[in-house]
Structure 1
Amino acid sequence: MLLWLMPLASTQGHSSPECISRKTIPYHKDNGHLFSEEGVWNYSTMLLREDLGLLLLGARDAIYALDLDNISNMNASVDWEVPKTKQTECKKKGKDGEIHCKNYIRILHTMNDGRMYVCGTNAFDPECDIMVS
Protein backbone atom coordinates (compact mmCIF):
# COMPACT_ATOMS: atom_id res chain seq x y z
CA MET A 1 0.00 0.00 0.00
CA LEU A 2 2.83 2.39 0.84
CA LEU A 3 4.48 1.89 -2.56
CA TRP A 4 1.20 2.65 -4.30
CA LEU A 5 0.77 5.93 -2.37
CA MET A 6 4.29 7.21 -3.00
CA PRO A 7 3.67 8.24 -6.65
CA LEU A 8 0.41 9.88 -5.56
CA ALA A 9 2.18 11.90 -2.86
CA SER A 10 4.71 13.21 -5.34
CA THR A 11 1.92 14.65 -7.51
CA GLN A 12 0.12 16.49 -4.70
CA GLY A 13 1.43 19.99 -5.45
CA HIS A 14 5.03 19.34 -4.42
CA SER A 15 7.48 20.19 -7.13
CA SER A 16 10.74 18.32 -7.23
CA PRO A 17 13.95 20.33 -6.95
CA GLU A 18 15.61 21.15 -10.22
CA CYS A 19 18.67 19.18 -11.14
CA ILE A 20 21.58 21.52 -11.65
CA SER A 21 24.81 20.17 -13.03
CA ARG A 22 27.98 20.99 -11.14
CA LYS A 23 30.00 21.63 -14.26
CA THR A 24 28.75 22.30 -17.76
CA ILE A 25 30.98 22.22 -20.81
CA PRO A 26 29.34 23.22 -24.06
CA TYR A 27 30.01 20.69 -26.79
CA HIS A 28 31.00 21.52 -30.31
CA LYS A 29 33.12 19.60 -32.78
CA ASP A 30 36.38 21.31 -31.79
CA ASN A 31 36.28 20.62 -28.04
CA GLY A 32 35.56 16.88 -27.95
CA HIS A 33 38.32 14.69 -26.45
CA LEU A 34 38.73 10.93 -26.42
CA PHE A 35 40.79 8.61 -24.24
CA SER A 36 41.65 5.05 -25.12
CA GLU A 37 44.43 2.71 -24.14
CA GLU A 38 45.57 -0.05 -26.46
CA GLY A 39 44.27 -3.46 -25.43
CA VAL A 40 41.79 -2.06 -22.88
CA TRP A 41 38.14 -2.23 -23.79
CA ASN A 42 36.29 -2.16 -20.50
CA TYR A 43 36.11 1.26 -18.85
CA SER A 44 33.62 0.59 -16.10
CA THR A 45 33.94 3.19 -13.34
CA MET A 46 34.66 6.91 -13.14
CA LEU A 47 35.44 9.25 -10.28
CA LEU A 48 35.69 13.02 -10.70
CA ARG A 49 38.42 14.54 -8.50
CA GLU A 50 38.07 18.27 -9.10
CA ASP A 51 40.40 18.88 -6.15
CA LEU A 52 43.19 17.14 -8.08
CA GLY A 53 42.09 18.18 -11.58
CA LEU A 54 41.61 14.52 -12.50
CA LEU A 55 39.07 12.11 -13.87
CA LEU A 56 39.88 8.66 -12.49
CA LEU A 57 38.86 5.88 -14.78
CA GLY A 58 38.57 2.27 -13.63
CA ALA A 59 39.03 -0.31 -16.35
CA ARG A 60 40.07 -3.92 -16.76
CA ASP A 61 43.27 -4.48 -14.77
CA ALA A 62 44.05 -0.76 -14.45
CA ILE A 63 43.12 2.65 -13.09
CA TYR A 64 43.87 5.76 -15.17
CA ALA A 65 44.22 9.36 -13.99
CA LEU A 66 43.14 11.66 -16.82
CA ASP A 67 43.67 15.42 -17.02
CA LEU A 68 40.32 17.12 -16.45
CA ASP A 69 41.14 19.87 -18.96
CA ASN A 70 41.83 17.31 -21.69
CA ILE A 71 40.93 13.71 -20.94
CA SER A 72 43.07 12.59 -23.88
CA ASN A 73 46.05 13.25 -21.60
CA MET A 74 46.80 10.48 -19.13
CA ASN A 75 48.68 11.85 -16.12
CA ALA A 76 49.25 8.46 -14.48
CA SER A 77 48.09 4.88 -14.39
CA VAL A 78 48.16 1.99 -11.96
CA ASP A 79 48.12 -1.60 -13.15
CA TRP A 80 46.09 -3.91 -10.90
CA GLU A 81 46.24 -7.27 -12.58
CA VAL A 82 45.12 -10.58 -11.13
CA PRO A 83 48.02 -12.76 -9.92
CA LYS A 84 48.67 -15.86 -12.07
CA THR A 85 47.64 -18.19 -9.24
CA LYS A 86 44.22 -16.51 -8.99
CA GLN A 87 43.82 -16.66 -12.76
CA THR A 88 44.57 -20.40 -12.69
CA GLU A 89 42.00 -20.95 -9.90
CA CYS A 90 39.44 -18.96 -11.88
CA LYS A 91 40.02 -21.04 -15.02
CA LYS A 92 39.68 -24.27 -13.00
CA LYS A 93 36.20 -23.08 -12.03
CA GLY A 94 35.29 -23.09 -15.72
CA LYS A 95 35.57 -19.35 -16.33
CA ASP A 96 37.02 -17.85 -19.49
CA GLY A 97 40.58 -16.79 -18.69
CA GLU A 98 40.63 -13.88 -21.13
CA ILE A 99 37.29 -12.43 -20.10
CA HIS A 100 36.23 -13.47 -16.60
CA CYS A 101 39.56 -14.06 -14.89
CA LYS A 102 40.57 -10.39 -14.90
CA ASN A 103 40.27 -7.55 -12.40
CA TYR A 104 37.45 -5.21 -13.38
CA ILE A 105 37.54 -2.05 -11.27
CA ARG A 106 34.03 -1.54 -9.89
CA ILE A 107 34.39 1.00 -7.07
CA LEU A 108 36.33 4.27 -6.92
CA HIS A 109 35.43 6.32 -3.87
CA THR A 110 37.03 9.38 -2.27
CA MET A 111 37.41 9.05 1.49
CA ASN A 112 37.22 12.00 3.92
CA ASP A 113 41.01 12.20 4.20
CA GLY A 114 41.49 12.42 0.40
CA ARG A 115 42.62 8.84 -0.09
CA MET A 116 40.65 6.63 -2.45
CA TYR A 117 38.91 3.35 -1.72
CA VAL A 118 39.20 1.08 -4.76
CA CYS A 119 37.60 -2.32 -5.35
CA GLY A 120 37.95 -4.79 -8.21
CA THR A 121 36.46 -8.15 -9.14
CA ASN A 122 39.88 -9.90 -8.93
CA ALA A 123 38.87 -12.99 -10.94
CA PHE A 124 35.72 -13.69 -8.91
CA ASP A 125 37.54 -13.06 -5.60
CA PRO A 126 36.77 -9.36 -4.95
CA GLU A 127 39.50 -7.26 -3.41
CA CYS A 128 39.62 -3.68 -2.15
CA ASP A 129 42.52 -1.40 -1.32
CA ILE A 130 43.35 2.18 -0.40
CA MET A 131 45.09 4.42 -2.96
CA VAL A 132 46.93 7.56 -2.00
CA SER A 133 46.76 10.36 -4.56
Structure 2
Amino acid sequence: MPKNRPTSFTVIAWLLIASSAVALAGFATSHGNSLAEDVMRQNPLPLLLQYGIGYFGLAVQVVCAIAILRGRPWGRLVYTGWGTMGLLIGFATSPVKTALIPGAVLFAVIVFFLFRPAGSAFLKAS
Protein backbone atom coordinates (compact mmCIF):
# COMPACT_ATOMS: atom_id res chain seq x y z
CA MET A 1 0.00 0.00 0.00
CA PRO A 2 1.56 3.30 -1.05
CA LYS A 3 2.26 5.59 1.88
CA ASN A 4 1.69 8.79 -0.06
CA ARG A 5 -1.91 8.00 -0.98
CA PRO A 6 -4.11 10.99 -0.15
CA THR A 7 -6.47 10.38 2.76
CA SER A 8 -9.34 11.45 0.50
CA PHE A 9 -8.56 8.54 -1.85
CA THR A 10 -8.69 6.05 1.02
CA VAL A 11 -11.95 7.47 2.36
CA ILE A 12 -13.54 7.60 -1.09
CA ALA A 13 -12.50 4.07 -2.02
CA TRP A 14 -13.81 2.55 1.20
CA LEU A 15 -17.00 4.62 0.93
CA LEU A 16 -17.52 3.22 -2.57
CA ILE A 17 -16.93 -0.35 -1.38
CA ALA A 18 -19.23 0.02 1.64
CA SER A 19 -21.98 1.75 -0.31
CA SER A 20 -21.78 -0.97 -2.97
CA ALA A 21 -22.30 -3.65 -0.32
CA VAL A 22 -25.31 -1.82 1.10
CA ALA A 23 -26.72 -1.16 -2.38
CA LEU A 24 -26.24 -4.82 -3.32
CA ALA A 25 -28.26 -5.92 -0.31
CA GLY A 26 -31.00 -3.41 -1.08
CA PHE A 27 -31.01 -4.20 -4.77
CA ALA A 28 -31.18 -7.95 -4.14
CA THR A 29 -34.19 -7.53 -1.85
CA SER A 30 -36.06 -5.60 -4.55
CA HIS A 31 -36.39 -8.80 -6.62
CA GLY A 32 -39.96 -9.98 -6.27
CA ASN A 33 -40.91 -6.95 -4.16
CA SER A 34 -44.04 -5.73 -5.94
CA LEU A 35 -43.81 -2.20 -4.53
CA ALA A 36 -40.19 -1.77 -5.63
CA GLU A 37 -40.86 -3.29 -9.04
CA ASP A 38 -43.94 -1.09 -9.54
CA VAL A 39 -41.70 1.95 -9.08
CA MET A 40 -39.10 0.45 -11.43
CA ARG A 41 -41.79 -0.14 -14.09
CA GLN A 42 -42.34 3.63 -14.27
CA ASN A 43 -38.92 3.78 -15.94
CA PRO A 44 -39.04 3.13 -19.71
CA LEU A 45 -36.14 0.67 -19.46
CA PRO A 46 -37.18 -2.98 -19.04
CA LEU A 47 -36.82 -4.41 -15.53
CA LEU A 48 -34.23 -6.95 -16.63
CA LEU A 49 -32.08 -4.20 -18.14
CA GLN A 50 -32.43 -2.08 -14.99
CA TYR A 51 -31.29 -5.01 -12.85
CA GLY A 52 -28.42 -5.74 -15.23
CA ILE A 53 -27.21 -2.14 -15.24
CA GLY A 54 -27.55 -2.00 -11.46
CA TYR A 55 -25.51 -5.12 -10.74
CA PHE A 56 -22.92 -4.30 -13.39
CA GLY A 57 -22.61 -0.78 -11.99
CA LEU A 58 -21.98 -2.12 -8.49
CA ALA A 59 -19.23 -4.37 -9.83
CA VAL A 60 -17.68 -1.47 -11.73
CA GLN A 61 -17.77 0.68 -8.60
CA VAL A 62 -16.01 -1.96 -6.48
CA VAL A 63 -13.35 -2.60 -9.13
CA CYS A 64 -12.75 1.16 -9.45
CA ALA A 65 -12.49 1.53 -5.67
CA ILE A 66 -9.87 -1.22 -5.50
CA ALA A 67 -7.99 0.38 -8.40
CA ILE A 68 -8.07 3.75 -6.61
CA LEU A 69 -6.67 2.15 -3.45
CA ARG A 70 -3.88 0.59 -5.52
CA GLY A 71 -3.05 3.85 -7.28
CA ARG A 72 -4.25 2.83 -10.74
CA PRO A 73 -5.08 5.93 -12.82
CA TRP A 74 -7.73 4.10 -14.82
CA GLY A 75 -9.77 3.59 -11.63
CA ARG A 76 -10.77 7.22 -11.35
CA LEU A 77 -11.32 7.52 -15.11
CA VAL A 78 -13.60 4.50 -15.31
CA TYR A 79 -15.45 5.61 -12.14
CA THR A 80 -15.96 9.09 -13.58
CA GLY A 81 -17.06 7.79 -16.98
CA TRP A 82 -19.42 5.15 -15.62
CA GLY A 83 -20.88 7.57 -13.07
CA THR A 84 -21.46 10.23 -15.71
CA MET A 85 -23.12 7.72 -18.00
CA GLY A 86 -25.29 6.47 -15.15
CA LEU A 87 -26.42 9.98 -14.29
CA LEU A 88 -27.23 10.73 -17.93
CA ILE A 89 -29.27 7.53 -18.22
CA GLY A 90 -30.95 8.28 -14.90
CA PHE A 91 -31.91 11.84 -15.82
CA ALA A 92 -33.16 10.64 -19.23
CA THR A 93 -35.30 7.78 -17.91
CA SER A 94 -36.15 8.37 -14.24
CA PRO A 95 -39.75 9.34 -13.50
CA VAL A 96 -38.56 11.17 -10.35
CA LYS A 97 -35.55 13.20 -11.46
CA THR A 98 -35.28 15.13 -8.19
CA ALA A 99 -34.42 11.85 -6.44
CA LEU A 100 -31.18 11.78 -8.46
CA ILE A 101 -29.91 15.13 -7.17
CA PRO A 102 -28.31 13.92 -3.89
CA GLY A 103 -26.42 11.19 -5.74
CA ALA A 104 -25.33 13.64 -8.42
CA VAL A 105 -23.99 16.04 -5.79
CA LEU A 106 -22.11 13.23 -4.01
CA PHE A 107 -20.70 12.06 -7.34
CA ALA A 108 -19.49 15.61 -8.12
CA VAL A 109 -17.78 15.87 -4.71
CA ILE A 110 -16.06 12.50 -5.18
CA VAL A 111 -14.86 13.43 -8.67
CA PHE A 112 -13.59 16.77 -7.33
CA PHE A 113 -11.41 14.99 -4.78
CA LEU A 114 -10.25 12.34 -7.26
CA PHE A 115 -8.93 14.99 -9.63
CA ARG A 116 -7.27 17.32 -7.11
CA PRO A 117 -3.52 17.90 -7.58
CA ALA A 118 -2.57 15.62 -4.67
CA GLY A 119 -4.54 12.78 -6.24
CA SER A 120 -3.00 13.32 -9.65
CA ALA A 121 0.49 13.36 -8.11
CA PHE A 122 -0.25 10.11 -6.26
CA LEU A 123 -1.44 8.41 -9.44
CA LYS A 124 1.58 9.61 -11.43
CA ALA A 125 3.94 8.31 -8.73
CA SER A 126 2.24 4.90 -8.51
TM norm structure 2? 0.24
Name the structure with the higher strand share. Answer: 1
Q: Which structure would you say has the larger RCO, counting Cα contacts within 8 Å and 6 or more residues apart? A: 2
- Tell me which structure has the larger Cα radius of gyration: 1
Using structure 1 for the length normalisation, give the TM-score.
Answer: 0.23
Which structure has the highest helix share of the two?
2
